Homo-oligomer: A and B are copies of this chain.
Amino acid sequence: MHNGKVLVAQGGGPTAVINQSLVGIVQAVRRLAPGTPVYGARHGVRGIVNEDFVDLGQETEANLERVAATPAAALGSTRDKPDAAYCAEMFKVLQAHGITHFFNIGGNDSSDTVRIVAEHAAKAGYALRCMHVPKTIDNDLVENDHTPGFASAARFVAQAFAGANLDNAALPGVYLGVVMGRHAGFLTAAAAAARRYSGDGPHLIYLPERVFEMERFLAEVKATQTRLGRCVIAVSEGIHDASGASIAEQLSQNVERDAHGNVQLSGSGALADLLCEQIKTKLGIKRVRGDTFGYLQRSFLGCVSEVDQREAREVGEQAVQFAINADRDGSVAIRRVGDYAVEYALLPLAAVAGKTRVMEDAFISTSVDGGSDVTPAFLSYLRPLLGAALPEAGRLRAPAVAKLLR
Protein backbone atom coordinates (compact mmCIF):
# COMPACT_ATOMS: atom_id res chain seq x y z
CA MET A 1 0.00 0.00 0.00
CA HIS A 2 3.06 2.24 -0.17
CA ASN A 3 2.54 5.57 -1.93
CA GLY A 4 -1.15 4.76 -2.40
CA LYS A 5 -4.32 5.57 -0.56
CA VAL A 6 -7.03 3.28 0.77
CA LEU A 7 -10.71 4.03 0.17
CA VAL A 8 -13.52 2.33 2.09
CA ALA A 9 -17.21 2.38 1.16
CA GLN A 10 -20.38 0.79 2.51
CA GLY A 11 -23.29 -0.35 0.33
CA GLY A 12 -26.80 -1.75 0.57
CA GLY A 13 -28.95 -2.09 3.66
CA PRO A 14 -27.33 -1.18 6.99
CA THR A 15 -26.77 -3.83 9.65
CA ALA A 16 -25.98 -3.91 13.37
CA VAL A 17 -22.29 -4.71 12.70
CA ILE A 18 -21.32 -3.22 9.33
CA ASN A 19 -19.33 -0.52 11.16
CA GLN A 20 -17.26 -3.25 12.83
CA SER A 21 -15.96 -4.14 9.37
CA LEU A 22 -15.23 -0.50 8.57
CA VAL A 23 -13.23 -0.17 11.77
CA GLY A 24 -11.52 -3.52 11.16
CA ILE A 25 -10.23 -2.18 7.84
CA VAL A 26 -9.08 1.17 9.27
CA GLN A 27 -7.28 -0.42 12.20
CA ALA A 28 -5.61 -3.11 10.06
CA VAL A 29 -4.24 -0.47 7.67
CA ARG A 30 -2.96 1.52 10.66
CA ARG A 31 -1.17 -1.56 11.96
CA LEU A 32 0.02 -3.19 8.73
CA ALA A 33 0.71 -0.17 6.54
CA PRO A 34 1.30 2.72 8.94
CA GLY A 35 1.14 6.13 7.34
CA THR A 36 -1.14 4.98 4.52
CA PRO A 37 -4.03 7.45 4.19
CA VAL A 38 -7.49 5.89 4.64
CA TYR A 39 -10.43 7.72 3.13
CA GLY A 40 -14.09 6.92 3.49
CA ALA A 41 -16.55 7.48 0.63
CA ARG A 42 -19.80 9.08 1.79
CA HIS A 43 -22.81 7.01 0.66
CA GLY A 44 -20.91 4.28 -1.10
CA VAL A 45 -19.87 4.48 -4.74
CA ARG A 46 -21.96 7.63 -5.11
CA GLY A 47 -19.48 9.31 -2.80
CA ILE A 48 -16.73 8.45 -5.28
CA VAL A 49 -18.56 10.00 -8.23
CA ASN A 50 -19.39 13.01 -6.06
CA GLU A 51 -15.79 13.22 -4.77
CA ASP A 52 -17.27 13.15 -1.28
CA PHE A 53 -14.56 11.69 0.95
CA VAL A 54 -13.72 11.93 4.65
CA ASP A 55 -10.27 11.39 6.09
CA LEU A 56 -10.56 8.45 8.46
CA GLY A 57 -6.94 8.96 9.50
CA GLN A 58 -8.24 11.75 11.72
CA GLU A 59 -10.37 9.39 13.81
CA THR A 60 -9.26 8.49 17.32
CA GLU A 61 -9.15 4.83 18.32
CA ALA A 62 -11.74 5.50 21.01
CA ASN A 63 -14.20 7.03 18.57
CA LEU A 64 -13.63 4.23 16.08
CA GLU A 65 -14.60 1.78 18.82
CA ARG A 66 -17.79 3.75 19.54
CA VAL A 67 -18.66 3.77 15.84
CA ALA A 68 -17.89 0.04 15.53
CA ALA A 69 -20.51 -0.68 18.21
CA THR A 70 -23.14 1.46 16.45
CA PRO A 71 -25.66 -0.02 13.98
CA ALA A 72 -26.28 1.27 10.42
CA ALA A 73 -23.60 2.49 8.00
CA ALA A 74 -21.50 5.27 9.53
CA LEU A 75 -20.21 6.42 6.13
CA GLY A 76 -23.68 6.36 4.64
CA SER A 77 -24.87 3.80 2.10
CA THR A 78 -26.25 3.67 -1.43
CA ARG A 79 -28.17 1.40 -3.79
CA ASP A 80 -26.48 2.80 -6.93
CA LYS A 81 -25.24 0.19 -9.42
CA PRO A 82 -22.33 1.49 -11.50
CA ASP A 83 -22.31 1.07 -15.29
CA ALA A 84 -19.46 1.92 -17.69
CA ALA A 85 -20.13 5.66 -17.64
CA TYR A 86 -20.44 5.65 -13.84
CA CYS A 87 -17.15 3.74 -13.57
CA ALA A 88 -15.41 6.22 -15.84
CA GLU A 89 -16.51 9.03 -13.53
CA MET A 90 -15.30 7.05 -10.52
CA PHE A 91 -11.86 6.43 -12.03
CA LYS A 92 -11.31 10.12 -12.66
CA VAL A 93 -11.88 10.80 -8.99
CA LEU A 94 -9.94 7.77 -7.71
CA GLN A 95 -6.94 8.61 -9.90
CA ALA A 96 -6.99 12.27 -8.94
CA HIS A 97 -6.73 11.22 -5.28
CA GLY A 98 -4.20 8.46 -5.85
CA ILE A 99 -6.48 5.71 -4.52
CA THR A 100 -4.88 2.29 -5.03
CA HIS A 101 -7.03 0.12 -2.75
CA PHE A 102 -10.83 0.04 -2.76
CA PHE A 103 -12.74 -1.86 -0.05
CA ASN A 104 -16.51 -2.12 -0.48
CA ILE A 105 -18.51 -3.54 2.43
CA GLY A 106 -21.88 -4.96 1.37
CA GLY A 107 -24.08 -7.80 0.17
CA ASN A 108 -24.45 -9.48 -3.21
CA ASP A 109 -25.36 -6.27 -5.01
CA SER A 110 -22.33 -4.55 -3.48
CA SER A 111 -20.06 -7.46 -4.41
CA ASP A 112 -21.33 -7.12 -7.96
CA THR A 113 -20.44 -3.43 -7.79
CA VAL A 114 -16.89 -4.39 -6.79
CA ARG A 115 -16.71 -6.86 -9.68
CA ILE A 116 -17.88 -4.24 -12.19
CA VAL A 117 -15.43 -1.66 -10.85
CA ALA A 118 -12.56 -4.17 -10.94
CA GLU A 119 -13.36 -5.14 -14.53
CA HIS A 120 -13.52 -1.54 -15.68
CA ALA A 121 -10.31 -0.73 -13.83
CA ALA A 122 -8.54 -3.62 -15.59
CA LYS A 123 -9.89 -2.49 -18.95
CA ALA A 124 -8.74 1.07 -18.27
CA GLY A 125 -5.30 -0.16 -17.20
CA TYR A 126 -5.79 1.39 -13.78
CA ALA A 127 -4.02 -0.46 -10.95
CA LEU A 128 -6.81 -0.58 -8.41
CA ARG A 129 -6.99 -3.37 -5.83
CA CYS A 130 -10.71 -4.13 -5.36
CA MET A 131 -11.88 -6.00 -2.28
CA HIS A 132 -15.38 -7.02 -1.28
CA VAL A 133 -16.08 -7.32 2.45
CA PRO A 134 -19.26 -9.34 3.15
CA LYS A 135 -22.31 -8.00 4.93
CA THR A 136 -26.02 -8.79 4.74
CA ILE A 137 -28.79 -9.62 7.18
CA ASP A 138 -30.27 -11.84 4.45
CA ASN A 139 -27.39 -14.35 4.79
CA ASP A 140 -27.64 -14.92 1.04
CA LEU A 141 -24.01 -14.73 -0.13
CA VAL A 142 -22.90 -17.93 -1.85
CA GLU A 143 -19.71 -19.67 -0.69
CA ASN A 144 -20.14 -18.27 2.85
CA ASP A 145 -21.23 -20.30 5.87
CA HIS A 146 -23.00 -17.13 6.96
CA THR A 147 -22.59 -13.38 6.58
CA PRO A 148 -21.85 -10.59 9.08
CA GLY A 149 -25.05 -8.81 10.07
CA PHE A 150 -27.23 -11.90 9.80
CA ALA A 151 -26.70 -13.18 13.33
CA SER A 152 -27.63 -9.90 15.04
CA ALA A 153 -30.77 -9.52 12.93
CA ALA A 154 -31.56 -13.19 13.63
CA ARG A 155 -31.20 -12.51 17.34
CA PHE A 156 -33.67 -9.62 17.05
CA VAL A 157 -36.15 -11.82 15.18
CA ALA A 158 -35.79 -14.61 17.78
CA GLN A 159 -36.28 -12.22 20.72
CA ALA A 160 -39.25 -10.62 18.96
CA PHE A 161 -40.97 -13.97 18.37
CA ALA A 162 -40.18 -15.17 21.90
CA GLY A 163 -42.03 -12.12 23.23
CA ALA A 164 -44.82 -12.34 20.65
CA ASN A 165 -45.34 -16.00 21.60
CA LEU A 166 -45.79 -15.06 25.26
CA ASP A 167 -48.12 -12.19 24.37
CA ASN A 168 -50.16 -14.50 22.14
CA ALA A 169 -50.37 -17.12 24.91
CA ALA A 170 -51.71 -14.43 27.30
CA LEU A 171 -54.31 -13.14 24.82
CA PRO A 172 -54.86 -16.06 22.42
CA GLY A 173 -55.57 -15.72 18.72
CA VAL A 174 -53.46 -15.69 15.58
CA TYR A 175 -50.27 -13.63 15.46
CA LEU A 176 -48.33 -13.20 12.24
CA GLY A 177 -44.94 -11.51 11.92
CA VAL A 178 -43.48 -10.60 8.53
CA VAL A 179 -39.68 -10.80 8.37
CA MET A 180 -37.21 -9.40 5.80
CA GLY A 181 -35.71 -11.67 3.14
CA ARG A 182 -36.26 -11.26 -0.56
CA HIS A 183 -35.10 -14.66 -1.85
CA ALA A 184 -33.50 -16.33 1.19
CA GLY A 185 -35.52 -17.37 4.22
CA PHE A 186 -32.69 -17.56 6.77
CA LEU A 187 -33.85 -14.54 8.76
CA THR A 188 -37.46 -15.69 8.87
CA ALA A 189 -36.30 -19.18 9.85
CA ALA A 190 -34.42 -17.65 12.80
CA ALA A 191 -37.84 -17.19 14.43
CA ALA A 192 -37.58 -20.89 15.34
CA ALA A 193 -34.86 -20.02 17.87
CA ALA A 194 -37.58 -18.29 19.91
CA ARG A 195 -39.05 -21.61 21.06
CA ARG A 196 -38.27 -22.82 24.54
CA TYR A 197 -41.11 -24.99 25.78
CA SER A 198 -43.20 -27.52 23.89
CA GLY A 199 -46.12 -25.66 22.35
CA ASP A 200 -44.20 -22.40 21.99
CA GLY A 201 -44.49 -20.46 18.75
CA PRO A 202 -43.72 -19.76 16.03
CA HIS A 203 -45.87 -22.76 15.12
CA LEU A 204 -45.62 -22.18 11.37
CA ILE A 205 -42.79 -20.74 9.25
CA TYR A 206 -43.17 -19.71 5.59
CA LEU A 207 -40.02 -19.21 3.52
CA PRO A 208 -39.37 -17.90 0.00
CA GLU A 209 -37.60 -21.18 -0.82
CA ARG A 210 -41.00 -22.85 -1.05
CA VAL A 211 -44.03 -21.97 -3.16
CA PHE A 212 -46.64 -20.23 -1.02
CA GLU A 213 -50.12 -21.69 -1.45
CA MET A 214 -52.89 -19.77 0.25
CA GLU A 215 -55.08 -22.82 0.72
CA ARG A 216 -52.34 -24.83 2.40
CA PHE A 217 -51.43 -21.81 4.55
CA LEU A 218 -55.02 -21.44 5.74
CA ALA A 219 -55.33 -25.17 6.42
CA GLU A 220 -52.17 -25.16 8.53
CA VAL A 221 -53.27 -22.11 10.50
CA LYS A 222 -56.66 -23.71 11.11
CA ALA A 223 -55.08 -26.97 12.28
CA THR A 224 -52.78 -25.16 14.73
CA GLN A 225 -55.59 -22.96 16.01
CA THR A 226 -57.75 -26.02 16.58
CA ARG A 227 -54.98 -27.90 18.36
CA LEU A 228 -53.61 -25.12 20.59
CA GLY A 229 -56.29 -22.43 20.59
CA ARG A 230 -53.74 -20.04 19.19
CA CYS A 231 -51.19 -19.76 16.40
CA VAL A 232 -47.97 -17.77 15.93
CA ILE A 233 -46.68 -17.53 12.35
CA ALA A 234 -43.42 -16.30 10.83
CA VAL A 235 -43.69 -15.22 7.20
CA SER A 236 -40.93 -14.05 4.88
CA GLU A 237 -41.67 -10.85 2.95
CA GLY A 238 -40.42 -12.71 -0.12
CA ILE A 239 -43.05 -15.47 -0.26
CA HIS A 240 -44.27 -16.04 -3.79
CA ASP A 241 -46.69 -18.16 -5.80
CA ALA A 242 -45.85 -20.98 -8.19
CA SER A 243 -45.14 -18.50 -11.00
CA GLY A 244 -42.52 -16.82 -8.83
CA ALA A 245 -44.54 -13.62 -8.42
CA SER A 246 -44.21 -12.36 -4.85
CA ILE A 247 -47.41 -12.27 -2.82
CA ALA A 248 -46.51 -8.78 -1.60
CA GLU A 249 -45.95 -7.57 -5.16
CA GLN A 250 -49.32 -8.87 -6.28
CA LEU A 251 -50.91 -6.63 -3.67
CA SER A 252 -48.93 -3.53 -4.32
CA GLN A 253 -50.32 -1.20 -6.96
CA ASN A 254 -47.22 0.95 -7.30
CA VAL A 255 -44.23 -1.34 -7.41
CA GLU A 256 -41.00 0.45 -6.56
CA ARG A 257 -37.68 -0.94 -7.82
CA ASP A 258 -34.13 0.03 -6.92
CA ALA A 259 -31.20 0.33 -9.36
CA HIS A 260 -30.52 -3.39 -9.00
CA GLY A 261 -34.05 -4.21 -10.14
CA ASN A 262 -35.22 -5.34 -6.71
CA VAL A 263 -38.84 -4.70 -5.81
CA GLN A 264 -39.16 -2.73 -2.58
CA LEU A 265 -40.82 -5.09 -0.12
CA SER A 266 -40.12 -3.51 3.25
CA GLY A 267 -41.52 -0.36 4.77
CA SER A 268 -45.11 -1.43 4.20
CA GLY A 269 -47.52 -3.51 6.25
CA ALA A 270 -49.55 -4.64 3.24
CA LEU A 271 -48.50 -8.29 3.21
CA ALA A 272 -49.25 -8.86 6.90
CA ASP A 273 -52.58 -7.06 6.56
CA LEU A 274 -53.61 -9.17 3.57
CA LEU A 275 -52.73 -12.47 5.23
CA CYS A 276 -54.57 -11.44 8.42
CA GLU A 277 -57.62 -10.52 6.37
CA GLN A 278 -57.56 -13.94 4.71
CA ILE A 279 -57.39 -15.68 8.09
CA LYS A 280 -60.24 -13.57 9.49
CA THR A 281 -62.58 -13.98 6.56
CA LYS A 282 -61.78 -17.53 5.43
CA LEU A 283 -61.29 -19.14 8.85
CA GLY A 284 -63.64 -16.96 10.89
CA ILE A 285 -61.00 -16.40 13.58
CA LYS A 286 -61.71 -13.12 15.32
CA ARG A 287 -58.48 -12.08 17.01
CA VAL A 288 -55.85 -11.94 14.26
CA ARG A 289 -52.88 -9.59 14.54
CA GLY A 290 -50.11 -8.92 12.05
CA ASP A 291 -46.81 -7.12 12.59
CA THR A 292 -44.24 -6.25 9.96
CA PHE A 293 -40.84 -6.13 11.63
CA GLY A 294 -39.57 -3.68 9.01
CA TYR A 295 -36.45 -1.67 9.69
CA LEU A 296 -36.36 -2.54 13.40
CA GLN A 297 -34.83 -5.94 12.65
CA ARG A 298 -31.77 -4.49 10.93
CA SER A 299 -31.22 -1.26 12.86
CA PHE A 300 -32.53 -1.65 16.44
CA LEU A 301 -30.01 -0.10 18.82
CA GLY A 302 -29.01 -2.62 21.48
CA CYS A 303 -29.68 -6.07 20.04
CA VAL A 304 -26.50 -7.64 18.77
CA SER A 305 -24.69 -10.98 18.72
CA GLU A 306 -21.15 -10.67 20.05
CA VAL A 307 -20.14 -13.48 17.69
CA ASP A 308 -21.42 -11.36 14.82
CA GLN A 309 -19.55 -8.30 16.11
CA ARG A 310 -16.29 -10.21 16.34
CA GLU A 311 -16.57 -11.77 12.90
CA ALA A 312 -17.59 -8.50 11.24
CA ARG A 313 -14.44 -6.93 12.69
CA GLU A 314 -12.36 -9.85 11.45
CA VAL A 315 -13.62 -9.83 7.84
CA GLY A 316 -12.49 -6.18 7.65
CA GLU A 317 -9.10 -6.98 9.09
CA GLN A 318 -8.73 -10.05 6.86
CA ALA A 319 -9.60 -8.02 3.75
CA VAL A 320 -6.59 -5.79 4.42
CA GLN A 321 -4.33 -8.78 5.14
CA PHE A 322 -5.45 -10.49 1.90
CA ALA A 323 -4.97 -7.26 -0.08
CA ILE A 324 -1.41 -7.04 1.15
CA ASN A 325 -0.41 -10.71 1.24
CA ALA A 326 -2.44 -12.30 -1.53
CA ASP A 327 -2.16 -9.23 -3.73
CA ARG A 328 -5.24 -9.99 -5.81
CA ASP A 329 -8.82 -8.81 -5.98
CA GLY A 330 -11.40 -10.84 -4.19
CA SER A 331 -14.23 -11.31 -1.74
CA VAL A 332 -13.64 -12.33 1.86
CA ALA A 333 -15.72 -15.37 2.84
CA ILE A 334 -16.52 -17.02 6.17
CA ARG A 335 -16.01 -20.79 6.41
CA ARG A 336 -17.15 -22.86 9.41
CA VAL A 337 -14.37 -25.21 10.45
CA GLY A 338 -15.42 -26.30 13.93
CA ASP A 339 -18.37 -26.41 16.31
CA TYR A 340 -18.06 -23.51 16.64
CA ALA A 341 -15.08 -21.91 14.86
CA VAL A 342 -14.51 -20.13 11.56
CA GLU A 343 -11.76 -19.36 9.08
CA TYR A 344 -11.66 -16.73 6.36
CA ALA A 345 -10.96 -17.30 2.68
CA LEU A 346 -10.36 -14.98 -0.27
CA LEU A 347 -12.58 -15.89 -3.20
CA PRO A 348 -12.52 -14.53 -6.75
CA LEU A 349 -15.09 -11.74 -7.08
CA ALA A 350 -16.94 -13.63 -9.80
CA ALA A 351 -17.53 -16.53 -7.39
CA VAL A 352 -19.71 -14.37 -5.18
CA ALA A 353 -20.80 -11.29 -7.11
CA GLY A 354 -24.49 -10.96 -7.84
CA LYS A 355 -25.27 -14.55 -6.86
CA THR A 356 -27.89 -15.43 -4.30
CA ARG A 357 -27.73 -18.25 -1.82
CA VAL A 358 -30.97 -19.69 -0.53
CA MET A 359 -31.67 -22.10 2.30
CA GLU A 360 -30.56 -25.69 1.83
CA ASP A 361 -33.31 -28.30 1.55
CA ALA A 362 -31.90 -29.93 4.69
CA PHE A 363 -32.92 -26.80 6.65
CA ILE A 364 -36.56 -26.85 5.56
CA SER A 365 -39.21 -29.36 6.55
CA THR A 366 -42.54 -29.78 8.18
CA SER A 367 -43.15 -29.95 11.92
CA VAL A 368 -44.34 -33.09 13.70
CA ASP A 369 -47.85 -31.85 13.00
CA GLY A 370 -47.18 -31.40 9.30
CA GLY A 371 -47.01 -27.61 9.41
CA SER A 372 -44.41 -25.59 7.47
CA ASP A 373 -41.26 -25.43 9.58
CA VAL A 374 -37.46 -25.61 9.68
CA THR A 375 -35.38 -28.61 10.77
CA PRO A 376 -33.25 -29.26 13.87
CA ALA A 377 -30.27 -29.06 11.46
CA PHE A 378 -31.09 -25.40 10.85
CA LEU A 379 -31.32 -24.66 14.58
CA SER A 380 -28.00 -26.40 15.09
CA TYR A 381 -26.51 -24.23 12.33
CA LEU A 382 -28.00 -21.04 13.76
CA ARG A 383 -27.47 -21.33 17.52
CA PRO A 384 -23.71 -20.64 17.78
CA LEU A 385 -24.12 -17.52 15.64
CA LEU A 386 -26.59 -15.89 18.03
CA GLY A 387 -23.98 -15.35 20.75
CA ALA A 388 -25.01 -15.29 24.41
CA ALA A 389 -28.11 -17.26 25.38
CA LEU A 390 -31.37 -15.42 24.75
CA PRO A 391 -33.04 -13.87 27.81
CA GLU A 392 -34.75 -16.70 29.65
CA ALA A 393 -38.53 -16.87 29.33
CA GLY A 394 -40.02 -18.54 32.40
CA ARG A 395 -43.54 -19.81 32.90
CA LEU A 396 -45.66 -20.79 35.85
CA ARG A 397 -45.70 -24.44 36.89
CA ALA A 398 -48.52 -24.01 39.43
CA PRO A 399 -51.00 -26.92 39.30
CA ALA A 400 -54.68 -26.35 38.60
CA VAL A 401 -56.98 -25.95 41.60
CA ALA A 402 -59.69 -28.60 41.71
CA LYS A 403 -63.06 -27.25 40.56
CA LEU A 404 -65.79 -27.20 43.22
CA LEU A 405 -68.73 -26.08 41.08
CA ARG A 406 -68.30 -27.64 37.67
Contacts and interface: CB of A to CB of B under 8 A. Distances in A.
Interface of A: 10, 13-14, 39-40, 43, 51-59, 63, 65-79, 92-93, 96-97, 159-160, 162-164, 166-167, 169-172, 175, 194, 256, 266-270, 272-273, 276, 286, 288-296, 298-303, 390-401, 403-406
Nearest to A268: B273
Given A71-B166, A175-B295, A291-B292, 17 more contacts: A40-B398, A51-B404, A54-B401, A58-B399, A70-B395, A71-B393, A75-B396, A76-B170, A96-B405, A163-B295, A163-B301, A164-B295, A269-B270, A269-B290, A289-B294, A290-B294, A291-B296
B303 A72 contact: no
A67 B301 contact: no
Chain B CB within 10 Å — which of A93, A301, A394 has the most? A301
Closest 3 CB pairs of A and B: A269-B269, A66-B394, A267-B289
B290 A268 contact: yes
A274 to B, nearest CB: 10
A271 to B, nearest CB: 9
Contact of A273 (B53, B59, B269, B391): B269
Given A14-B166, A170-B76, A394-B63, A292 B289 contact: no
Given A70-B393, A171-B13, A267-B276, A404 B302 contact: no
Contacts of A63: 394, 396-397
Contacts of A77: 170-171
A81 to B, nearest CB: 15
B269 A159 contact: no
B53 A401 contact: yes
Contacts of A76: 169-172
